[in-house]
Structure formats: C-alpha cells, structure tokens
Amino acid sequence: MATLFDDALDEKRLLRPAFLLARGLGSRVFPDVLDRDAFLALARIAGTPGGSVSIHHAEFGKRSEKTTRIDPVRAWDGLFQVFHEDVILEFSPSPLFVWLPAGERFHVVFGSKNMIAQIDNMRNEAGSFCAFVDASSLTEKGKQFLLEAYERYTI
C-alpha cells in the first residue's frame, strides 16, 4: 500500500512537483531548516490544536514510518528526534504539509492554495531565500542547487 511518503517523493527522496500539481496544491520554499517557532506557527495556521501532526519519516534506503501527535509541542519533540531523516509533516485537519529533505538547507511547505496564501501573508520568502543563499558559505554548486530547488518547488 502506497503511503504519502511514497506518493510525494521519488526514488531519490525528492519531492515530486507532479504530485503537487495533480492535487492542485501550492508550495513555497524556505531557507534553512524548520525551526521551532516556524513549526508552531504552521501548527496554528493549520488549526492545531484541535487537529494533529503526523510525522512521516525514513532514513535513506529504509521504509517510511509514521507517528502522530495531537499536541504541537510534543509533535516538535518527536520531529526533533528524526531531523536527520527525510521527513514529511502532515498537519490535520487542514491540507498543510512540510517536506524536510535530510541534510539540505531548505524546506518546502505545501498545501491548499488557501493555506499557502496564509503563509505568504506571514513572510516575504523570495527575498529571504535569495539573501540566505547569497550569504551562505556554500560552494557555487551548492548555491546553484538551492536556487534550482527554489524554482522547482515554488508552485
């Protein structure tokens, strides 16, 4: 049985833009790793509490696992334990998700157009992402990878 993890990510564990487009979802790319404040802000936007946060995660080459937490603070604690893995967060009841690729310096928030509009109102992501890339100590190849990810996953 296919899982969200299987459907959303390809064999290299990269988010499939076709998955987002086929479901009519929007997405935004944000610099660096998801921090606690941003996580809790997403939980508020998604309507948690009153809902739940499911953490779909797996180390490369292994099958995905799923844990669900009702309390956002406990969900953050659970996420913190698997940050080294590929992760998709699923905020319920609203259609809001976060892809956290293992070892990368960005994350992608995706969901309904309404959810993405609420996130757009919170941040000016394009300017902050480009500024992050410019200020990073990454190689030119690393910077190019981040900029390409920004282009690929901004839907």
Check residue 124 and give its pLDDT: 53
**Residue 69 belongs to what domain range?**
4-153
Could you report the average pLDDT of every consecutive run of 10 residues in the chain (155 residues)? 90 95 95 91 84 93 93 93 96 93 94 90 67 91 94 93
Check residue 93 and give its pLDDT: 87
Total tally of structural domains belonging to the chain = 1
Residues 21-37 have pLDDT tens digits of 999 999 999 988 899 99
CA 24 to chain centre: 17
pTM score, whole prediction:
0.92
Check residue 53 and give its pLDDT: 96
Calpha distance 104→152 (Å, rounded): 15
CB atoms within 10 A of CB 118: 18
CB atoms within 10 A of CB 106: 21
Check residue 19 and give its pLDDT: 97
Check residue 125 and give its pLDDT: 53
Calpha distance 99→2 (Å, rounded): 17
The half-sphere exposure of 41 on its side-chain side, counting CA atoms within 13 A, is: 13
Those residues with Cβ within 8 angstroms of residue 135's Cβ, 6 or more apart along the chain or in another chain? none
Check residue 126 and give its pLDDT: 52
Calpha distance 144→48 (Å, rounded): 36
